[in-house]
Structure 1
Amino acid sequence: MWVSWLMMLLSLWPVASSDAKPGCQEKCGNVSVPYPFGILEPSCAMNKHFFLNCTSNDESHPELLFGNMPISDISELEGTFTVGIHAAFNCYDKKGIETNSSSRWRITLGSGPFMISNTRNIFTAIGCDTSARVINFEFTYGATCLSLCTEYVEMSDANPCSGSGCCQTSIPKGLKSLRYSLSTYYNYTNVSDFNLCGFAFLADKRSLKISDWPLSRTPKDGKDAADVVIEWVVENKTCEQAKANTSAYACGANADCTYPESGQGYRCSCNDGFEGNPYLKEGCQDKDECKVEGKKPCQEGTCENTIGNYKCRCPIGKYGDGKIGCKGVGIITIISGN
């Protein structure tokens, strides 16, 4: 008897929806892996480009990798994922002799539908005798960032990098590769009392804290990595081209084709009034606007959910649209005393 009650209770218990393909593992360590990405089995990803490596020497701490770059976050809503990429650096002693250097670094995204986000990332150099160069492999883009100073500069998140102790330059959209390198004019001998190392790196503007990169900083055993945001699309086709091939069209039910800011390829997004993973076959589910936490959907009246929308029914005696307010005086109840 108690088994029947237990089964009934379990059937009523709310089940969290998964953004992974049905039957596929949802997480690698602490990182959620939403479809079109997949791990462990190639069939769990939309195609080979979205199949990621979940591996570790320690089974209790698996790591999600894109190539050899660790992934810390994937967003199917924004069409991005975040990877950790090391900074280039060079260090000298007070006599100007190089003591530690990894002055060249590169990023390559391969042939998949991925690109380095130009809106989220910025190229940054730290140092008082530092020249940093950044180019792409195809030699269609290049820039130099020069950071100089003659006295100690406090690295502050409130002040922009202006070229004194820190400099920054933007990157164009659509890049699939970058390589950056460092050089110095006087081997830091003129500023050796407070600055012996220079750094150059690409970083996500949202997470970058310049205060974490003081002029006194030295390399930290391979831990000098910054978050870099990679944009992705389903494939490099227009929405019209994608919809023409229904068997390969990536958007599920109650979802539609959209274009990213980069203007390259297409993504999918839920239609208004729906939520979920737009890339799954079952697509997006109806959103109950009446139960959105912290939001009052009706200006007045009672909220009633509908498929893809909601209604606000005015109180008895009033009329109009309760979303913006009802008209009339309603029912007035008079209570007479003895």
Structure 2
Amino acid sequence: MVYQWLFQMIFLLWPLSSSYSSALAKAPPPPLSKPNCLSSCGDVIIPFPFGMGANYCYLNDSFAIDCKSNNKPFLRSINLEVLNISLTDLTIRVQHPVSNSCLTINETKILENTPFYYSHSNKFTSIGCNNIAFMSDFNNSRLGGCSSICSDERGKTEFGDCNGINCCQTTVPWKIIQSFNTSFEAMNFEGENYTQECKYAFLVETEWFDNEFTYPDEFVQNWTQVPVVLDWNIFNSSLDLSWREHRSSTECYDEVLPFLLCFCRTGYEGNPYLLDGCHDIDECATNGAACERHMICKNTNGSHRCIPHKDANVSIIILGIGTGLGGLLLLIVGWRLCIIILKRIKRKEELFKRNGGLLLQQHLNSLIDGSVDRCRIFNSKELNKATDNFNVNRILGQGGQGTVYKGMLADGKVIAVKKSKLVDESKLKEFVNEVVILSQIHHRNVVKLLGCCFETEAPLLVYEFIPNGTLFHYLHDENEELPPTWDMRLRIASEVAGALSYLHSAASLPIYHRDIKSTNILLDDKYRVKLADFGTSRSVAMDETHVTTRVQGTFGYLDPEYFRSSQFTDKSDVYSFGVVLVELLTGQKPICLMRSEGSRSLVTYFIACMEENRLCDILHAQVIKQGKQEEIMAIANIASRCLNPVGKKRPTMKEVAVELEAILVAKNESKMLQNFVEIEYRETEVTEPSWNVVSTSTSTSFEDTN
């Protein structure tokens, strides 16, 4: 009877805590606009950097919104009606004009000189009978096109059907498009006489068109505009980013991109582009809060806690009189603890399996050359302790593949822990294969992979710690203690080339790095090169010449041939290395909006200077002062060959490495000879260089040695 009464009381008290969470009112959503600024026009929410009213409300004139008298928002810079703005996708949906063959004007220059460009979620669509429609740029280069024939039952097309009968579609090219024109041609089949009818062509949001398209001849002739998705971005130079260092609720990626991309961290919501724009989510006010029925939900910044209900505790104490009841309580508590521990163990096992831990172990166990010990599998507790639970103060850097933290193991060894983004399970085998290959790479100029951990939501990779940061910061941030001399620039170039040559030619399987840039080149305590960040790397079979992937990379370093074809080859790494060589020669960033329009791309500027025999206009002053003419011209010619727009005409990394090593050896031999002469003759006078170059708008460079 006592036990029966006890269980009845427990079940009566069990639902008490659930009423606390459900009684909480849901907090209003955080503001998306600046204070004292209008937040909507009609049904459209206007988040910053867009805004209405005074210029305080928007970032710059490109993002100004005018709310017309009919409560419809128009983007002032392009004068198009706004349908929706997304901070997450960096897109804006607008009403875009339709081109008509019966009209003479079919040009679209709406987006030129703005931060907007046509998204790849649109499709170029044409409607008409026996019709060919083309989409071209203003150099008359065709970007795409499609053709449609007549149906037996003219004027009728099945719902959502655009398959070449009265209607055709094609995808938008994978390139930045801000302007285009439309042209029409008649197919003129024998016996057909439909060429006099008006034809229509337009870019349109794919999802909207699939849902709205029914009968073209009845409805399209009344269309003057259709929804189109535009991508937008904020260039880093247009925004003061110093406020990001004082906030913990926002995560931004701008060091590896020419534009700003921000998100609210997990547990926060709002506008990440506003100061204090990300607000804590009150999980306790949301239905389905992750607390059991006998627990009280307590909200915390970025998360929540579940604590026992005090009334339940009091009831348990009252009902727990006697050793029998106390024993039963201990039994219940022990049982609950057991369940919690088993759940944690099971969760770790699930994560280990999901993230590829078992697959990695199978690969390592299959190796018979002693390489098993080269890649250690860490547990999550060990790495949490090493990084102080991934404290934000331990962050070394952030990129598209994840965040890197500084840590220290129990034996005192300093490490770098890369917390990767969630891995797509469909690419799990590729990820594990890369870890196995990288764990076997031993090269003095490649960062050593020490191990990995699969017990967390996202895989963790453990690397050796490299203390002197990236080549990007070394070149572009002033370093008064140890500035980058010509000798150091030449040695760094040779070491990077040697590492890439090893990956391409000497590794057990050729490896394409796929993200060569100065931010992925680290410098150790002696400023020796350590090539890093293999998050997008791919290994290829000996008989393969390329990998076909979705285009990934960093603007300014991306191989234009790869951008057009989606086929990445070893020569794509050569092109990116050529950009790094130009950085070393010039000390300039690959993309700089402060330069003139024709010179914003460092590669374009460099090639122009080479062709016009004015190389000195772009060289860094220290390079001109310290480097010899023949050495500088030799390096510039190597860079020019690496940047050839045709991949087959570029040298291999092995050839580049050999040439750079030869220049370095010749330089060292020349130094030894010079030192010998100085000792022999005790010369103390320093002679001026035999060539003197002044960087002006009218100066000419030294003669090309080729």
Q: Is the 8 A contact 1:314 1:322 kept in 2?
A: no
Q: Is the 8 A contact 1:253 1:281 kept in 2?
A: no
What whole-Å deviation, never above 9, does each CA across 1:204-247 have from its counterpart, x for those lacking one? 112113763524236655x432110011112167xxx98xx644
Structure 2 CA distance, aligned partners of 1:322 and 1:311?
15
Structure 1 CA distance, aligned partners of 2:152 and 2:47?
49
Structure 1 CA distance, aligned partners of 2:338 and 2:191?
77
Q: Is the 8 A contact 2:52 2:65 kept in 1?
A: yes
The secondary structure found in structure 2 opposite 1:266 is strand
Structure 2 CA distance, aligned partners of 1:126 and 1:102?
17
Structure 2 CA distance, aligned partners of 1:197 and 1:297?
60
User: Of 72, 91, 107, which residue of structure 2 is paired with 1:80?
Assistant: 91
**Alpha-carbon distance, 1:103 to partner:** 6.4
**Alpha-carbon distance, 1:111 to partner:** 2.3
**Alpha-carbon distance, 1:84 to partner:** 0.6
- How is 1:249-328 mapped onto 2 (pairs within 5 angstroms)? 254-258=249-253, 265-293=259-287, 295-298=288-291, 302=295, 303-313=297-307, 317=333, 318-319=336-337
The secondary structure found in structure 2 opposite 1:49 is helix
User: Of 49, 65, 77, which residue of structure 2 is paired with 1:52?
Assistant: 65
Structure 2 CA distance, aligned partners of 1:227 and 1:123?
12
**Alpha-carbon distance, 1:199 to partner:** 1.5
What whole-Å deviation, never above 9, does each CA across 1:59-94 have from its counterpart, x for those lacking one? 35344234221111111122111111121123xxxx
> Whose helix fraction is larger, Structure 1's or Structure 2's?
2
Structure 2 CA distance, aligned partners of 1:323 and 1:151?
70
> Whose strand fraction is larger, Structure 1's or Structure 2's?
1
Structure 1 CA distance, aligned partners of 2:300 and 2:159?
46
User: Of 23, 26, 29, which residue of structure 1 is paired with 2:39?
Assistant: 26
Between the two proteins, what is the percent identity of the paired residues? 26
Letter matched to residue 103 of structure 2: S
What's 2:182 paired with? 180
What's 1:229 paired with? 229
Q: 1:235 to 1:150 in 2, by over 3 A?
A: same
Q: Bigger shift: 12-21 or 30-39? A: 12-21
- How is 1:91-110 mapped onto 2 (pairs within 5 angstroms)? 100-101=102-103, 104-110=106-112
**Alpha-carbon distance, 1:149 to partner:** 2.8
What's 1:65 paired with? 75
Query: Is 1:204 paired with 2:214?
Result: no
Q: Is the 8 A contact 2:158 2:214 kept in 1?
A: no
Q: Is the 8 A contact 1:128 1:191 kept in 2?
A: no
Structure 1 CA distance, aligned partners of 2:114 and 2:285?
39
Structure 2 CA distance, aligned partners of 1:266 and 1:124?
32
Q: 5+ unaligned residues in a row in structure 2: which ranges?
A: 1-24, 310-331, 346-706
Q: 1:177 to 1:300 in 2, by over 3 A?
A: farther
Q: 5+ unaligned residues in a row in structure 1: which ranges?
A: 1-11, 91-99, 328-338
The secondary structure found in structure 2 opposite 1:156 is coil
Letter matched to residue 65 of structure 1: L
Q: Is the 8 A contact 1:150 1:190 kept in 2?
A: no
**Alpha-carbon distance, 1:50 to partner:** 1.5
TM-score in terms of structure 1 length:
0.71
The secondary structure found in structure 2 opposite 1:216 is helix
Q: 1:42 to 1:253 in 2, by over 3 A?
A: farther
Q: Bigger shift: 165-174 or 265-274? A: 165-174
Q: Is the 8 A contact 2:30 2:277 kept in 1?
A: no
What whole-Å deviation, never above 9, does each CA across 1:23-77 have from its counterpart, x for those lacking one? 111122332211111112111111222222333xxx3534423422111111112
Structure 1 CA distance, aligned partners of 2:226 and 2:190?
24
What's 2:152 paired with? 151
Structure 2 CA distance, aligned partners of 1:236 and 1:320?
52
Q: Is the 8 A contact 2:65 2:73 kept in 1?
A: no
What's 1:332 paired with? none
What whole-Å deviation, never above 9, does each CA across 1:87-134 have from its counterpart, x for those lacking one? 1123xxxxxxxxx4366241431323222111x111111122111110
Q: 1:165 to 1:321 in 2, by over 3 A?
A: farther
Structure 2 CA distance, aligned partners of 1:181 and 1:50?
31
Q: Is the 8 A contact 1:156 1:211 kept in 2?
A: no
Q: Is the 8 A contact 2:133 2:182 kept in 1?
A: yes
Q: 1:319 to 1:63 in 2, by over 3 A?
A: same
Structure 2 CA distance, aligned partners of 1:148 and 1:61?
41
Q: Bigger shift: 64-73 or 195-204? A: 195-204
Q: 1:322 to 1:49 in 2, by over 3 A?
A: farther
Structure 1 CA distance, aligned partners of 2:81 and 2:236?
25
Letter matched to residue 268 of structure 1: C
Q: 1:326 to 1:271 in 2, by over 3 A?
A: closer
Structure 1 CA distance, aligned partners of 2:341 and 2:136?
53
Question: 1 or 2 for the larger relative contact order (CA 8 Å, sep ≥6)?
Answer: 1
Structure 1 CA distance, aligned partners of 2:341 and 2:111?
47
- How is 1:89-168 mapped onto 2 (pairs within 5 angstroms)? 89-90=100-101, 100-101=102-103, 104-118=106-120, 120-137=121-138, 142-152=143-153, 154-159=156-161, 161-168=162-169
Letter matched to residue 297 of structure 1: A
Letter matched to residue 207 of structure 1: W
Q: Is the 8 A contact 2:32 2:271 kept in 1?
A: yes
The secondary structure found in structure 1 opposite 2:271 is coil
What's 1:94 paired with? none
Q: 1:253 to 1:187 in 2, by over 3 A?
A: farther
**Alpha-carbon distance, 1:141 to partner:** 5.6
**Alpha-carbon distance, 1:198 to partner:** 2.2
Q: 1:297 to 1:191 in 2, by over 3 A?
A: farther
Across the aligned residues of Structure 1 and Structure 2, the Cα RMSD in angstroms comes to 3.9
